Chain A
Amino acid sequence: MSEVNNDILSEVTQQDYKYGFVTDIETDTIPKGLSEDVVRLISEKKGEPEFMLEWRLKAFRHWQTMTMPKWAHLNIPEINYQDIIFYAAPKQNAKYASMDEVDPELLATFDKLGIPLGERKHLAGVAVDAVMDSISVKTTFRESLAELGIIFCSMSDAIKEHPDLVKKYLGSVVPYSDNFFATLNSAVFSDGSFCYIPKGVRCPMELSTYFRINAANTGQFERTLLIADEDAYVSYLEGCTAPMRDENQLHAAVVELVALSGASIKYSTVQNWYPGSKEGKGGIFNFVTKRGICKGANSKISWTQVETGSAVTWKYPSCILRGDNSSAEFYSVAVTNNYQQADTGTKMIHIGKNTRSRIVSKGISAGKSNNSYRGLVKISKNAENARNFSQCDSLLLGSKCGSHTYPYIEVENKTAKVEHEATTSKIGEDQIFYCNQRGISTEDAVGLIVNGYAREVLNQLPMEFAVEAQKLLQISLEGSVG
């Protein structure tokens, strides 16, 4: 059996990254390096109001006093921040009035990625904001959403058109001084998505952002801000890909979610940045700060993530449960192969009364990769009747990979009920045997088991993404039993 497994394993490890193409498109870039002038230049290029520039500079000055965190179970080569281009945008003369004016090369790119960008994809029922190399290229369905009072646009538009909202909420969940990468992002972020759902509105379609790094030597720094006003509901998707390049590229994003009383936000990510070659060369460094706050009573935030790409992932989508009776969920599948490294997890900070949180994390590591879950559940003193359940499972495929679990549980209230459990195992020979016995080939059996293992999380994804994620999982791991 082991021979068959080896074949399957090598097949899997040789699986190519299918989004690795480069689009030949003119880009507007600024010189390499980072300084106050660069920050000013970015702000100027984007025609931002004074308060944004001030904020950026404050962040930049703070960033200069910080050092890169070393606590994660990751082996990150030294990053030279002066060797990165902090701003790259597909060249555009004016805002597009209709789809016909968009660079056909750009459209072809998004077509290749299978993103329903054109209005013709009306039936797909997904509103898309596509971000390429830091700049939002096209936001679809803007008008029809506006009829309901929903604001869905690029961050730069929001800064210009809705400065009050931006001023009020930007940095309210992830302050500019939060951590090394979030501070860097605050200083140099170029674009991202902005979304505001007004009181009592249930967003009729899935909102989605598609991130694409294209230009070489650039870093991508986008910033997403999502606000759900009282009793609003929104489901938001995010997908990412990048070309295959030999050098590492940096991606440091910040996502902030604000849920007011009774609001509900569902945020799903399928992250498939270029993971680097089989020898561990190249790939994206994915250092992302994602945090949501359940600000009002009865609000809810749900994070779902499928992490299959990136050479290094450093990502902890978190929730602050401040409103009474608020609840939060975190569902994650993280897959690492070859030399990939992932240190991911969540933080659930219970402040309000009767708050509930649930964590389901499934890690799968293969090849020579390392996959860690790191999470914090904190029940503060006044969080009466808080409830948390965490489950972290790891699956090891192959004897050269590593899987780690670092949960932190801090409880300061006696009425809290906190449970954590974690298991680590490989696919049992008896499980494979059981399937074989019933005429299912080893390869199919592993696919079956891995999918069953991750089902709890995949079920949380919106339909379209669920299909994509399932395929991704199949590609990454099918049959790779150790």
Chain B
Amino acid sequence: MSETTNIYSSLYQQSIEKYGASDPGFISKLREDALNLLTKNGFPGKKDEQYKYSFLEPYFSNGYNRYLAPKPISFDVNHLFRCDVPALDTQVIILLNGFYFDKANPLKTLAGGIIVGSFKEAVKKHPDLVEKYLGKCANSTDSYVALNTALAHDGIFLYVPKGKLLEKPIQIINVLLSDEDLMVQHRNLFILEENSQAKVIVCDHTLSPVKFLTNSVNEIFVGENACFDYFKVQNEHNESVQVSHSFINQEKASNCRSTTITLHGGVVRNNLTVKLNGEGCENYAYGLFVSDENQKVDNALFIDHAKPNCHSSQLFKAILDDSSSGAFTGKILVERDAQKTLAYQRNSSILMTDNAKMNSKPQLEIYADDVKCSHGATVGQLDEEALFYLRSRGITESEARLMLMYAFAFEILNEIKIEPLKDRMSELIEKRLRGELSRCNNCEMHCS
């Protein structure tokens, strides 16, 4: 057992002593299995194929002693936080350092029996529901997922019953606020039953200049004919490390769309695992990151076409400046039965400097014959001719570059289906490309 895994197995023991009593049996079992997996496999090393371009163990070996007993923090949401996206009509939920903030009202039942609130509370109130779904699609052997399963205590729980529609999008704001280095592990569980529909927006904000390590897992179940739209903006400071896993399980004829925009962050690794588990599913995944300084952003996708007639499409773009480095891994698996699959994948990156680095690894693994699959990857710089064209029309070089970069990013922004959010994101990206801090003006949290 390596030193790092030792840290976590002792942390696990403490966690069991402290909270174990309140865990129902199935959760204790999940945690135990996860810890065994972690101690058996250890953290992925430099040679691990899945983490070839992201060696994360050093960030985890820091020893975040105060994980189980963080200092209490006074935090006035109304004073500190006002989301400045005009006309974005959402229901805001705040997760403070990975724990549900609104202690007075941990689990809300909305019209139509939609349940939303704290994951911890949901385990107490609706153990049957949680047991039915928890860990069912996050069943990977990934060590970071195991770590989360073993140690996560809270997060967001969303349940949309059969045929119901969530009127307002839910906006989850992950606030990281602490006066010492902090590790955060939250677990979100989203369940959409047949014919239901929901939209979720997630924003990450770091509010204090200490080191944050986030290791989160989302499990998303999209039932028959259900429709789910997931949107995530990552905007953390350069000292933070974020490892996130999203697992999506789609049933027959369901539709799921996910967009991840990384504006800022020290080290970011996003994993997206999609299982198309019924006929006629559609899945769209989009990603965009703009990085500078020494940031590292790594997006890894795994799309599993298990059933026939499904359609998946992925488009990931990156603009890399300074000494930043990026990676993309996109694997499409088409299983034996999945005839008539359509799967498309594209990864395009622009390198702005000689010190920036991009690694791209698109993969196809196909076992069915009647399929159409393709992937494409490009890495390059701005088109000199396009630049010349603009300059010959009296546009300054820097402005011309900006226009081209913005146009490059716009392909992703254009896929955001919530209008006010799209406008706001476009504005933020433009600012980001100008080198200005991508903070929300009205927000006093100065999250950049």
List chain A positions with a Cβ less than 8 A from chain B.
71, 73, 379, 381, 394, 396-426, 482
Inter-chain CA distance A420–B380, complex, in Å, is 12
Inter-chain CA distance A153–B242, complex, in Å, is 59
A420 and B364 in contact, given A398-B369, A414-B352, A426-B369 (Cβ under 8 angstroms): no
The interface residues of chain B lying within 8 Å CB-to-CB of A407 are 360-363, 377
The interface residues of chain B lying within 8 Å CB-to-CB of A399 are 336, 339, 368-370
Contact present for A406 and B361 (CB under 8 Å): yes
The interface residues of chain B lying within 8 Å CB-to-CB of A416 are 351, 379-381
A418 and B379 in contact, given A406-B361, A411-B358 (Cβ under 8 angstroms): yes
Contact present for B363 and A418 (CB under 8 Å): no
Contact present for B353 and A414 (CB under 8 Å): yes
B381 to chain A, nearest CB (A): 5
B368 to chain A, nearest CB (A): 6
The interface residues of chain B lying within 8 Å CB-to-CB of A423 are 372-374
21 A-B pairs (CB sep. < 8 Å): A379-B379, A396-B369, A399-B370, A404-B366, A406-B361, A409-B379, A410-B358, A411-B379, A414-B351, A414-B352, A414-B353, A415-B354, A417-B378, A418-B379, A420-B375, A420-B378, A421-B374, A423-B373, A424-B364, A425-B372, A426-B371
Please name 20 further chain A to chain B contacts, defined as beta carbons within 8 Å, in addition to the given A407-B377, A409-B358, sorted by A numbering: A396-B368, A399-B369, A404-B363, A404-B365, A405-B362, A408-B361, A412-B357, A414-B352, A416-B351, A416-B381, A417-B379, A417-B380, A418-B379, A420-B377, A422-B374, A423-B372, A423-B374, A424-B366, A426-B369, A426-B371
Contact present for B375 and A411 (CB under 8 Å): no
B182 to chain A, nearest CB (A): 34
Contact present for A414 and B375 (CB under 8 Å): no
The interface residues of chain B lying within 8 Å CB-to-CB of A404 are 363-366
**How many Cβ-Cβ contacts under 8 Å join chain A to chain B?**
121
Inter-chain CA distance A19–B365, complex, in Å, is 33
Contact present for B360 and A409 (CB under 8 Å): yes
A418 and B380 in contact, given A423-B374, A425-B372 (Cβ under 8 angstroms): yes
Interface of B is mostly: strand
Contact present for B354 and A424 (CB under 8 Å): no
Contact present for B381 and A415 (CB under 8 Å): yes
B25 contacts chain A at the CB level, 8 A cutoff? no
The interface residues of chain B lying within 8 Å CB-to-CB of A403 are 364, 366
Contact present for A405 and B364 (CB under 8 Å): yes
Partner of B363, one of A398, A405, A412, A425: A405
The interface residues of chain B lying within 8 Å CB-to-CB of A402 are 365-367
List chain B positions with a Cβ less than 8 A from chain A.
49, 336, 339, 349, 351-354, 356-381
Contact present for A413 and B364 (CB under 8 Å): no
Inter-chain CA distance A401–B339, complex, in Å, is 13
Contact present for A419 and B377 (CB under 8 Å): yes
Inter-chain CA distance A269–B358, complex, in Å, is 33
Partner of B381, one of A400, A401, A414, A426: A414
B379 to chain A, nearest CB (A): 4
A424 and B370 in contact, given A404-B364, A414-B352, A416-B380 (Cβ under 8 angstroms): no
The interface residues of chain A lying within 8 Å CB-to-CB of B352 are 414
Contact present for B378 and A418 (CB under 8 Å): yes
The interface residues of chain B lying within 8 Å CB-to-CB of A381 are 354
Inter-chain CA distance A482–B370, complex, in Å, is 8
Inter-chain CA distance A406–B368, complex, in Å, is 17
The interface residues of chain A lying within 8 Å CB-to-CB of B339 are 399
Inter-chain CA distance A73–B357, complex, in Å, is 28
A55 to chain B, nearest CB (A): 28
Contact present for B375 and A405 (CB under 8 Å): yes
A-B interface, 7 closest residue pairs, ranked by CB to CB distance from nearest: A414-B351, A396-B369, A409-B360, A405-B364, A423-B374, A411-B379, A420-B377
A422 and B378 in contact, given A398-B369, A399-B370 (Cβ under 8 angstroms): no
The interface residues of chain A lying within 8 Å CB-to-CB of B336 are 399-400
Partner of A414, one of B356, B359, B374: B356
The interface residues of chain A lying within 8 Å CB-to-CB of B368 are 396, 399
Complex: chain A residue closest to B367, CB-CB: A402
The interface residues of chain A lying within 8 Å CB-to-CB of B376 are 419-422
Contact present for A420 and B362 (CB under 8 Å): yes
Inter-chain CA distance A381–B355, complex, in Å, is 8
